[in-house]
Amino acid sequence: MKELQKVMSGVRRVVQHYGMIADGDRIAVGLSGGKDSSALLFALAKMREFLPVRFELFAVTVDMGFADSRGKLTVFEEFCAGLGVEYRIADTQIAQIVFDERKEKNPCALCAKLRRGALNNTALSMGANKIALGHHLDDAVETFMMSVMHEGRIGCFSPVTWYEDQQFSVIRPLLYTTEREVKALVRAAELPVVESSCPENGNTEREEMKKYLRSFDDLHRGLYKRVLGALERRGIDGWYE
């Protein structure tokens, strides 16, 4: 499947460049329900056969506690079973905390913090030493531009982040893969995607930035890869050539 080969090529290059995976790693993939994490899990599961290192792979989904969310996740149980990947659901009351108790006007930051904590704790309880997230090339560029335009700060998340206090790393193996390539793989392989139940879904600053950058990229093709190159050439936040 050419779509899988395309994604695996990008994953292999970034994994080797940043030394993301080592022999004996136990890697938990944060399976959010979106296309990116499904594509990441699928690619890593297939790459176990080709990478010159041996690693264990499993998946974790954080159930935010929306009324209809748990029933949607059965599709991931089947998905992971087909890949030979252990799967666990982290039950939380994040939706109740953010929307009912705190009534956050801008809920995304608190929600992200709570989801990250639940994912990390569950993964570590399963013996993970690394957590893989599905951020792709477009996400990195959007994050960088949001930092500049909304915060007046030059920064981005890192390809590899080491958490000294809990002794684990977060890795992002899709950073050389575009969103278009992810979408193509999801369609071709018919990977499961679960629509988010969050009322803020699609109504965020990131969506606004995505639309802005894509309109610019339509006029000046290659924008995303040029910005990625700038991040690596300048060595920003753990990026390097």
Supply the mean pLDDT for the chain: 92
pLDDT of residue 122: 96
Q: Do the Cβ atoms of 137 and 179 come closer than 8 Å?
A: yes
Residue 89 has pLDDT above 90, yes or no: yes
CATH number of the CATH domain containing 28: 3.40.50.620
Of 72 and 79, the one with more pLDDT: 79
Query: 6 Cβ partners below 8 Å, 6+ apart?
Result: 177, 181, 184, 185
pLDDT of residue 93: 87
**Measuring CA to CA, how many Å separate 54 from each of 28, 57, 137?**
14, 10, 26
Q: Burial letters for 62-74: b for 16+ Cβ neighbours within 10 Å, e otherwise?
A: bbbbbeebeebbe
56-63 and 160-163 beta bridge pairing? unpaired
Give the residue-averaged pLDDT of 184-212.
87
| Closest to 146 (Cα-Cα) out of 91, 204, 94, 209 | 209
Residue 173 has pLDDT above 70, yes or no: yes
- Helices within 190-222 (DSSP H only): 205-219
What is the span of the domain harbouring residue 193?
Answer: 2-238
pLDDT of residue 140: 97
Q: How many structural domains is the chain composed of?
A: 1
Q: Do the Cβ atoms of 166 and 64 come closer than 8 Å?
A: no
pLDDT of residue 80: 97
| Cα–Cα distance, 122 to 106 (Å, whole number) | 26
Could you tell me how far CA 190 lies from the centroid of its own chain?
A: 19
pLDDT of residue 111: 87
Q: pLDDT tier at 202 (50, 70, 90 boundaries)?
A: low
Backbone angles phi, psi at 32, to 5 degrees: -80, -25
For the stretch 115-166, pLDDT in tens is 999 999 999 999 999 999 999 999 999 999 999 999 999 999 999 999 998 8
| Cα–Cα distance, 143 to 156 (Å, whole number) | 6
Percent of the chain with pLDDT strictly greater than 90: 76
pTM over 0.85, yes/no: yes
Percent of the chain with pLDDT strictly greater than 70: 98
Give the residue-averaged pLDDT of 215-238.
94
Query: 169 Cβ partners below 8 Å, 6+ apart?
Result: 129, 130, 131, 160, 161, 162, 163
Q: pLDDT tier at 96 (50, 70, 90 boundaries)?
A: confident
Of 39 and 64, the one with more pLDDT: 39
Which uninterrupted H or E stretch holds 108?
A: helix 108-125
Residue 102 has pLDDT above 80, yes or no: no
pLDDT of residue 210: 93
pLDDT of residue 100: 78
- For the ranges 6-15, 72-81, 89-98, 111-120, the maximum mean pLDDT occurs at 6-15
